[in-house]
Amino acid sequence: MQTKEINNSSIIGTFKEILEALSDKEKNVIERRIGLHWEKETLQNIWDSFSPNITRERVRQIEDSGIKKIWRVVKATTLVKLQEFAKDTLEEHGGLLTKEKLINAIIKGFDLEKNINASILETIVQSDYDIVKSKPKLGTKTYFYLPRISKKTIDAIYKEALSILKKRKDVMEKASLYEMIKINLKNNTLKNTFIDAVLDVYEDIVSGEETLIWLEKWKILNPKTLKDKAVYILRKEKIPMHFVSIANKITETMGEKVKVNTVHNELIRNNEFVLVGRWIYALKDWGIYKPGTVLDVIVDIMRKNSEAMSTEEIIAKVLKVRKVKNTTIYMNLQNKKIIQRVWRNYYQLKD
């Protein structure tokens, strides 16, 4: 959306003219808050500089008063197009977007230079009465939204997403999570773009590879250590894998060359992984696979059955939790110290 009359210099020039319509205090506070002539300053720095001293809340009131006046003046300038573009962009995302993404959209939409003072754009957007800026809140990013958007809906979407992910305890496809949110909230009118924008606000929910979503504290979508990278690959593939395949997938997915033996050592020494076959590993928290030898698995299966089991039954159950050959299972059944054959092809634990 290139507009010749709107560029870096024209935005700064027009904005400076707009500030002349404000009181001296309003102009002084806003210039310092956005770093128009120097570094951006905090509310505390500004209130400390006033003589006589004024409270931090009073500085905030002066800033808010100036921003409201800016809206009335902007309407008569070309900068109103920035506000119109911001509202259109918010509409495209269901009525909400983080400050960073909205400002970046404006910079890209008007083909502005990236070194423009983003705080000027933010102030212009914030001055629009038809756009609301969120208040600072721990654990969230600052965001802009349209007045029709209910804070109750925003909170409900976040809480439902958090509940689903905690119960799932696993990475999810965004589309699946969003459908579950709609069903649980009994609101089919919610759009995926809006749910996506809402969850982007919260720092404890993380997106990865465009289609995946996870809780930040699990650090799986942003793996740092080799162990976390192996966990990430197994969660993504959702099947037990040979350690060489895991190493290759780390290289392919993350563009990082890793040594196969180093990966294998991580798999061996961390109890998050379970050996389920000849050099094949799964995740323990999948709840299917347990540590131990094939014989341990057979013993566990037999203990859960009150009657003798056929070879076929035992093999079928073992293969659900171990990737081994049938002959390996059969050979373990011949351990006469632990297992006894009660009749042809039927086994039970020794008393």
Same domain for 13 and 85, yes or no, is yes
Same domain for 237 and 210, yes or no, is no
According to the model, what pLDDT value does residue 206 have?
79
Same domain for 111 and 17, yes or no, is yes
Task: Among 110, 135, 160, identify where a domain stops.
Answer: 135
Indicate the pTM of the whole model: 0.65
| Adjacent-strand bridge partners of 346 | 310, 343
CA angle 96, 101, 104 (to 5 degrees): 135
According to the model, what pLDDT value does residue 239 have?
87
- What CATH number is associated with residue 191? 1.10.10
Residue 328, in any domain of the structure: yes
Residue 205, in any domain of the structure: yes
Same domain for 48 and 156, yes or no, is no
Residue 284, in any domain of the structure: no
Same domain for 250 and 335, yes or no, is no
Q: Which domain holds residue 258?
A: 226-275
Same domain for 92 and 116, yes or no, is yes
The label of the residue with tokens 């001055």 reads 127
Number of CB atoms found within 10 A of residue 106's CB: 25
Q: How would you class 125 by CB atoms within 10 Å of its CB: exposed for 0-12, middle for 13-18, buried for 19 or more?
A: buried
- Measured in whole angstroms, the distance separating CA 269 from the mean position of its chain's CA atoms is 29
Residue 145, in any domain of the structure: no
Residue 282, in any domain of the structure: no
H helix or E strand, kind and range, residue 241: strand 241-242
Task: Among 67, 100, 135, identify where a domain stops.
Answer: 135
Task: Among 100, 135, 170, identify where a domain stops.
Answer: 135
Residue 287, in any domain of the structure: no
Question: Going residue by residue through the chain (351 aa), what tens digit of pLDDT does each one get?
Answer: 545 678 999 999 999 999 999 999 899 888 888 888 777 777 777 777 776 677 778 888 988 999 999 999 999 999 999 999 999 999 999 999 999 999 999 999 999 998 899 999 999 999 999 999 999 899 999 999 999 999 999 999 999 999 998 888 777 889 999 999 999 999 999 999 999 999 999 988 877 656 878 777 765 556 778 888 898 888 888 888 999 999 999 888 877 888 999 999 999 888 889 888 788 898 888 877 777 788 888 888 898 887 899 999 999 988 888 888 888 888 999 988 899 888 888 998 887
Residue 173, in any domain of the structure: yes
Residue 2, in any domain of the structure: no
Structure-block tokens of residue 290: 């347990």
H helix or E strand, kind and range, residue 185: helix 174-185
According to the model, what pLDDT value does residue 219 have?
58
Cβ atoms 11, 112 nearer than 8 A: yes
Tally of domains within the chain: 4
DSSP string, 300-321: HHHHT-SS-EEHHHHHHHHHHH
- The rounded radius of gyration (Å) of the Cα atoms in the chain is 30
